[in-house]
Chain A
Amino acid sequence: MSEAFLSEYEKIFLLHGVQDDLRLDGRAPNDYRPIRVEFENINNSYGSCQLILGDTKVVAAVKAELDTPDVCTPDMGKLDFFVDCSANAAPEFQGRGGEQIASQIVNILTNLFSSKNFDLTQLCVVPGKKCWHLYVDIVLLESSGNLYDACALATKLALSRARFPKLKIKSDDEGQVEIDFADDVDEVIQLNVESLPHSVSVCKIGNSYVVDSDLKEESVTKVRIMFGFDDKGNIRYTSKDGFGSLDPDSLYSIIDIAKNSSIKLQQFYTNAISTTNNEYYSS
């Protein structure tokens, strides 16, 4: 968790506010900040998305190349994540400073978009010989809390907008395959990403729970629980962040709060991908 520099009294002010259901920016405990997405603004990628969540700005771009599949999974493609924490986002990301938070984000994304949740067989070109290897590159332009949810949503949106050229496969008598682009250049393949989970993180501040914490709230958070909810509201991933502990009853309330937020996120996602524009905005 990156932190804002707050004095002890500012922290107490914030804490008391949250306990009375008053957050610094006037939101209710289970409100998300306004989300704005822009698609296809990275021309050199197969699909891209810029997500602005409050003051958090994230760009996710999907690149792809042909690769040979792993020996153990001959009918599956590959998916890799790279997260860059630019020093623009926070001064502490300078040099190798952002490495730890980047690897945390990569770890969560790898778990959320694992082969059990994302059908990697749709990336297979010739079983055992060729497959698509997707690289999802994420850059943090501005960091203002709740990076996990922002990165996961941006990745899902970028993957849903990704278009790959259709390939023509010719095999000769000796079993050699030749791969070429299809005759019609406009023919594209789209990925099925419906069942990919959303990330929802809930912070425990004092005795209250808030979703979509901003940087100041994160600096008084002792425990944050992250969930991966799929489109049917089932849990596919859970982990804890931060060096605090919580009692089981708060854990159960956090699960309920997270589920309600996941429904809102799912609603936002369906609206965002159904727009024909390259832009979608929710308040």
Chain B
Amino acid sequence: MNRTAQSVPDETWDPLVFLEPNSLLEIVNQRKQNLDQDTEHMDTDSTNSKQPIFLKTDCVNEASGSSYIEIGNAKVLCSVYGPREIPRRDDYDFKVANLNCEFRFASFSCFMQRRGTLSQRDQSLDEKNLSSAIEEALKPSILLHKYPKSQIDLYILCIQNDIDSRNIVCASIIAASMALANASIELYDLVSSYTYTPVNLTVSYMPQLNQVTSIHFSNEANGACLSTDLFKSHIKESIENCKKVYSFMKHILLNSDFYSLLKNGLDHDIKKVDIS
């Protein structure tokens, strides 16, 4: 029997879906509670922010720069390739480099299964939105005019998604900024980011320059509506937390960069010659 010729339904469901509506909700809530308990457990030994952060650079050796981050349940891997030649002449920009940012969810990363391998399926709507959100947060920090006629590729892979995707944006932004720094791309400052989880407000911030690079608040998950004063105080709190995350990022970067320079010092020099 030729299995490939058999038609497969376009959409598949978790078998739990076919239970009674209320019991499904119960199971989903139970799963969420379990995840929440895990985070609470991890919270107790955190010092920097309400959720512990694990951050590491130099995880993909082939890439110019890379980083891996865990915040709460979110796990994100990011790698930077470039600055490199633009493959298509149409995309040439004689003034600035093109920043190409691609965010993808791994097939197994979410509550609902995503069909097919990454190369088989196109970027879904939420992946596109996240890509542009990350690009928007990072672009102000990069000295793009230093790399004319070239392209910088930023690939971000979500390995595990958090409840309601809540830490994904800030984890991706931190990881991408670390990877860019790790790739020795010239930056005005590292972009640190923090999601105030109770209302799902994400603020990205460059502490040295005192600049907010992106802000995003959506009540799709929790239905929050905030008065302007409350909103401002949440932004203030998020910025304070961004500063804490920043010092942590700086620490990791300084320690690992020293090591990577020692290890790959020659490679870095060769790459720089290639560009000019």
What is A's interface to B at a CB cutoff of 8 Å?
A: 71-72, 74, 103-104, 107, 111, 114-117, 128, 225, 230, 232-248, 251-252, 255-256, 259
Q: How far is the CB of B124 from chain A (nearest CB, A)?
A: 12
B187 within 8 A of A: no
CB 8 Å contact bits of B192-219 with A (1 = contact, 0 = none): 0000000001000110011111111111
Measured CA separation A251–B212 after assembly (Å)? 8
Check A103 against B140 for contact (C-beta < 8 Å): no
A246: chain B residues within 8 A (beta carbon): 211-212
Report how many A-B pairs have Cβ atoms within 8 Å.
98
A230: chain B residues within 8 A (beta carbon): 225
Check A107 against B136 for contact (C-beta < 8 Å): no
Q: Interface size of B by Cβ–Cβ distance < 8 Å?
A: 43
Measured CA separation A236–B132 after assembly (Å)? 21
Check A247 against B211 for contact (C-beta < 8 Å): yes
Check B222 against A72 for contact (C-beta < 8 Å): no
Known contacts A71-B17, A116-B222; is A233 also within 8 Å of B206 by CB?
Answer: no
Check B129 against A234 for contact (C-beta < 8 Å): no
Known contacts A72-B24, A116-B222; is A255 also within 8 Å of B212 by CB?
Answer: no
Minimum-distance CB pairs A-B, first 3: A116-B223, A245-B140, A245-B211
Q: How far is the CB of B201 from chain A (nearest CB, A)?
A: 8
Check A233 against B215 for contact (C-beta < 8 Å): no
Check B206 against A235 for contact (C-beta < 8 Å): no
Check B216 against A238 for contact (C-beta < 8 Å): yes
Q: List 20 A-B contacts (CB under 8 A).
A: A71-B18, A72-B24, A111-B218, A116-B219, A233-B227, A234-B226, A235-B217, A236-B226, A237-B217, A239-B133, A239-B218, A245-B140, A245-B206, A245-B211, A246-B212, A247-B210, A248-B212, A252-B232, A255-B228, A256-B228
Q: Which of B215, B225, B236 contacts A240 (CB 8 A)?
A: B215
Check B215 against A225 for contact (C-beta < 8 Å): yes
What is B's interface to A at a CB cutoff of 8 Å?
A: 13, 17-18, 21, 24, 125, 128-129, 132-133, 135-136, 139-141, 201, 205-206, 209-228, 231-232, 235-236, 239
Measured CA separation A233–B128 after assembly (Å)? 30
A232: chain B residues within 8 A (beta carbon): 225
B224: chain A residues within 8 A (beta carbon): 236
Q: Which of A72, A116, A240 contacts B220 (CB 8 A)?
A: A116
Best-buried of A238, A247, A259 by chain B (most CB within 10 Å): A238
Q: How far is the CB of A211 from chain B (nearest CB, A)?
A: 15
B136: chain A residues within 8 A (beta carbon): 240-243
Best-buried of A234, A243, A245 by chain B (most CB within 10 Å): A245
Best-buried of B21, B206, B218 by chain A (most CB within 10 Å): B218
B215: chain A residues within 8 A (beta carbon): 225, 238-240, 251
Check B231 against A235 for contact (C-beta < 8 Å): yes
Measured CA separation A232–B236 after assembly (Å)? 23
Check B225 against A234 for contact (C-beta < 8 Å): yes
Measured CA separation A61–B206 after assembly (Å)? 43
B205: chain A residues within 8 A (beta carbon): 248
Measured CA separation A280–B21 after assembly (Å)? 45
Best-buried of A72, A103, A241 by chain B (most CB within 10 Å): A72
Please name the residue on chain B nearest to A232 by beta carbon.
B225
- What 18 additional pairs, Cβ within 8 angstroms, besides A235-B226, A238-B201? A71-B17, A71-B24, A72-B17, A107-B129, A115-B220, A116-B221, A225-B215, A233-B228, A234-B225, A234-B227, A236-B224, A236-B225, A237-B217, A238-B231, A243-B140, A248-B205, A251-B235, A256-B228
Known contacts A235-B228, A235-B231; is A248 also within 8 Å of B210 by CB?
Answer: yes
Check B128 against A103 for contact (C-beta < 8 Å): yes
Q: How far is the CB of A77 from chain B (nearest CB, A)?
A: 16
Please name the residue on chain A nearest to B199 by beta carbon.
A235
B222: chain A residues within 8 A (beta carbon): 116
Check B218 against A237 for contact (C-beta < 8 Å): yes
Measured CA separation A15–B139 after assembly (Å)? 23
A104: chain B residues within 8 A (beta carbon): 132
Check A103 against B125 for contact (C-beta < 8 Å): yes
B21: chain A residues within 8 A (beta carbon): 71, 74, 128
Q: How far is the CB of A3 from chain B (nearest CB, A)?
A: 15
A242: chain B residues within 8 A (beta carbon): 136
A240: chain B residues within 8 A (beta carbon): 136, 214-216
Q: How far is the CB of B237 from chain A (nearest CB, A)?
A: 12
Q: How far is the CB of A27 from chain B (nearest CB, A)?
A: 24
Q: How far is the CB of B113 from chain A (nearest CB, A)?
A: 14
Please name the residue on chain B nearest to A255 by beta carbon.
B228
Please name the residue on chain B nearest to A111 by beta carbon.
B218
Measured CA separation A9–B239 after assembly (Å)? 37
Check B217 against A238 for contact (C-beta < 8 Å): yes
Check A237 against B219 for contact (C-beta < 8 Å): yes
A115: chain B residues within 8 A (beta carbon): 220
Measured CA separation A236–B217 after assembly (Å)? 8
